[in-house]
Structure 1
Amino acid sequence: MTTPQQQDPTADQFLMGGGGAPTAKFPSIGASISGRITEKPVVEQQRDIKDGSLKFWKDGGKMMQLVVTVQTDQRDPSIEEDDGRRRIFVKGAMKNSIADAVRAVGARGLEVGGILTVTYTHDGQKTNPAFDPPKQYSAQYIAAAVAELNTPDPTPQQQYMPQAPAPQQYAQPAPAPVPQIPGLTAEQIQAAMANPATAALLQQQQAAAAAGHAPAPAAPADVPQF
């Protein structure tokens, strides 16, 4: 019987080196991984965590999993040049939760640019005393087109602020001309104009003089002497 060979690296892994981004971890209930999908998800055969051998079902069928790489804001000091990318190995209960999340938004599958969030919510029923109970997950997915629309522009745009209209300037009315009355000073004329009784008489005489019907008005007899 031949030993299964290790899978060949992807084109990007072969070109850039390395075995891909670190594995996403869910150490305790409530742990979550969220980020934008950075490369096309791939399907591969599962491997035994102890020796790396390929895994098969009892009937000989391959045990498959989906590998999704997302860009997160996580940084692990123990990982040299950690850029925050994480690989999520989708299988079992997690696969069902992610499939439901994709269907909920009307998408046909995971795509580059979409945003995937996976959260370890609780433990399932323990069926084998030799193993831990299966982890249960919830998932949310935002399709790539929607995620692109909701991504803020990295270059802040100057917001237009409407300018308040400048206060309108109103011309001040020109002061009424002071009539010239022989025998009275300007101060006396202003005092006479301040008196309604004498002001009306002076205005009538001034209007008649301007029309040429009467000589220039003289000081009325009832104008008080100042």
Structure 2
Amino acid sequence: MTMNDLSSLDQILAGGGATAKFEAPGDLYTGEIVDVAIRQVNDYDTGKPAFWDDGRPQEQIVVTIATSETTSPDDDGHRNVYIKGWGDQLKAFRQAAKQLGRNPRPGDQFTATYVGDGERKNPRFNPPKLFQYEVTAGTAGLSNLVEQAAAPAQPASTDSTPQSAAPSTDSTQQGPGPQEKAKQLIQLGLDDQTIATQLQMDADVIGILRQNLAA
């Protein structure tokens, strides 16, 4: 199996995802990145792969993110954000990567915001959409980690067979509270804003917890 095979397998397991639709300036999509891929653009008229005049393929970046938006029981919430590999969209994506300090990757938090329209150079097409991209460093599988941490404790077994267990002074078993979850994510290296967003907590509270852990 080649590296290309592995890459394709990762993309299949990540899920295809529906296209993120930006209909009006101000529309945005945000979520954890589950896949970043380079795909060739299809020609608008023929539907076949598009090429530049010098023979190079016209390429686009496809960022698949996990969102809370679902339209059917089979919708996993994954949305594909398509970024042209040239012009203003590529420039905006490069700027986001520069601010991050590296290329975006699965686990990072990604936000794409439709901020307006560019100059219409071809009367056959709509003006190109302009975007702002923001990327915050994260940990792959953060969504799953948070969901597992927030999952309620399993009910006690109804099996009548006696089970030996250590004595407990509390009659109820509870999962970790929000602050304990936050401490776990801090120790994983996530930044305050990412943790606050995932756990729906105030970022200032996360900062205080971080200071206490460092003390």
Match of 1:115 in 2: 109
Q: Deviations over 1:46-66 (max 9, x none)?
A: 113555310111222110111
* Alpha carbons 1:115, 1:147 under 8 Å: kept: no
- 1:128-139 equivalences under 5 Å are 128-139=122-133
Match of 1:84 in 2: 77
The counterpart of 1:32, out of the listed 19, 22, 28, is 28
Q: Offset of 1:144 from its aligned partner? A: 1.9
Q: Offset of 1:105 from its aligned partner? A: 2.6
The one-letter code matched in structure 2 to 1:90 is: I
Match of 1:75 in 2: 70
Give the share of equivalent positions with the same residue, in percent.
32
The one-letter code matched in structure 1 to 2:177 is: Q
* Residues 1:50 and 1:74: Cα distance change in structure 2 (over 3 Å): farther
CA distance in 2, matches of 1:125, 1:68: 25
Q: Offset of 1:94 from its aligned partner? A: 2.3
* Residues 1:112 and 1:11: Cα distance change in structure 2 (over 3 Å): same
The two structures have a TM-score, normalised by structure 1, of: 0.55
CA distance in 1, matches of 2:14, 2:137: 30
- 1:1-226 equivalences under 5 Å are 10-12=8-10, 20-39=16-35, 41-49=36-44, 51-77=46-72, 81-91=74-84, 92=86, 93-106=88-101, 108-145=102-139, 154=150, 155-157=175-177
User: Gaps spanning 5+ residues in structure 1: where?
Assistant: 1-7, 161-226
* Alpha carbons 1:21, 1:85 under 8 Å: kept: yes
CA distance in 1, matches of 2:178, 2:105: 33
Q: Secondary structure at the match of 1:59?
A: coil
CA distance in 2, matches of 1:65, 1:25: 16
Q: Offset of 1:146 from its aligned partner? A: 11
Greater fraction of residues in helix: 2
Q: Offset of 1:86 from its aligned partner? A: 0.7
CA distance in 1, matches of 2:141, 2:178: 23
Structure with higher Rg: it is: 1
Q: Secondary structure at the match of 2:19?
A: coil
* Residues 1:61 and 1:121: Cα distance change in structure 2 (over 3 Å): same
Question: How many corresponding residue pairs?
Answer: 145
Q: Deviations over 1:152-199 (max 9, x none)?
A: 653542879xxxxxxxxxxxxxxxxxxxxxxxxxxxxxxxxxxxxxxx
C-alpha RMSD of matched pairs (Å): 3.2
User: Gaps spanning 5+ residues in structure 2: where?
Assistant: 151-174, 181-215
CA distance in 2, matches of 1:17, 1:51: 29
* Residues 1:28 and 1:50: Cα distance change in structure 2 (over 3 Å): farther
Runs of 4+ residues deviating >6 angstroms: none
Q: Deviations over 1:123-154 (max 9, x none)?
A: 11111222111110111110125996xx9653
* Residues 1:94 and 1:64: Cα distance change in structure 2 (over 3 Å): same
Q: Secondary structure at the match of 2:91?
A: helix
CA distance in 2, matches of 1:124, 1:133: 6
* Alpha carbons 1:114, 1:147 under 8 Å: kept: no
* Residues 1:158 and 1:32: Cα distance change in structure 2 (over 3 Å): closer
